[in-house]
Amino acid sequence: MVKIFLSLSRERLSLAMRGHAGRGENGTDLVCAACSILAHTLCKMVEDGARKEMFYASPTTHIASGEALIACAPRADYYEEMLHAYYMAQIGFDLLQREYPDSIELVVVEG
């Protein structure tokens, strides 16, 4: 099972993901591939934001087989833009969870 934890607050936005969907052989699991592309897309958006100096400190962007951690502390004038990026990922994970509830667990904490 892929477990995804999204934390969305004014001070920090973060996504932590761990596990495998277990719906196919390594490299052929489409649910894992979908989770991976959502994480990679968010990671790219955060890395682009870092180049534009949108954060108070350097963000954390780590993706490896079966795990991801993407976290940032956006400056106030960039908060809405980065929140939108995390919402995009949340929507994608929510759609996957609805379709594959035995393979995806999404927990979202706001505030």
- For residue 59, give the 3-state DSSP assignment: coil
Q: Name residue 64's beta-bridge partners.
A: 67
Return contacts of 17-24, CB within 8 angstroms, 24+ apart: 17/67, 17/68, 17/69, 18/66, 18/67, 18/68, 19/66, 20/66, 21/100, 21/103, 21/104, 22/103, 23/100, 23/103
Tens digit of each residue's pLDDT, the chain (111 residues) = 999 999 999 999 999 999 998 887 777 889 999 999 999 999 999 999 999 999 999 999 999 999 999 999 999 999 999 999 999 999 999 999 999 999 999 999 998
pTM here is: 0.94
